[in-house]
Amino acid sequence: MAQPSPKLQQIAKDFQQIATMAGFLNSAFDAPQLRLLFTLYARLTVKDEAEGQAVLPRLQAWCEQQCVNLREGSSSAILPPQVSYAPPQLLPNGESWYVVATMTFNSKVTENSYQRVRAAVLSAYQAAAALREKGLPEE
């Protein structure tokens, strides 16, 4: 198997750094492309289980918007994301609860086609980091 180009290796490292903001990334070289499988965590901290249940519809709407943004921002280079939701869970310290949506999505990029995917992915991970820090935006 041919060794990936230095530029494709650098692109993989760039996507790895982006993914650390709110999830992780699996990648594989498939010359002349880079296969990417992203996992993004949308996590909200809430005061109790009832608030966690109440916030789920808004979290689902937020995730649906992120899915649309990923597809549109990448000119459909990112395949339709899959989203799963976990029920509210108590934090290990017992002080509060959290709700998590896990979004998985994938794409292939080449040395010449990665900018659109990068911009869409960066935006999604930044939004997830902001969600974790500030909560859902007001309606």
pLDDT digits (tens, 9 = 90+) for 21-76: 999 999 999 878 899 999 999 999 999 999 999 999 999 999 999 999 999 999 99
CATH number for 6-134 (one of 3.30.980, 3.30.420, 1.10.3470, 3.30.70): it is: 3.30.980
Query: Would you say residue 131 has pLDDT above 90?
Result: yes
Q: Which residue has the tokens 């992915």?
A: 121
For the chain, what percent of residues have pLDDT higher than 90?
Answer: 86
**Strands in 31-129 per DSSP E:** 33-46, 82-85, 89-90, 97-109
What ranges do the domains of the chain cover? Answer: 6-134
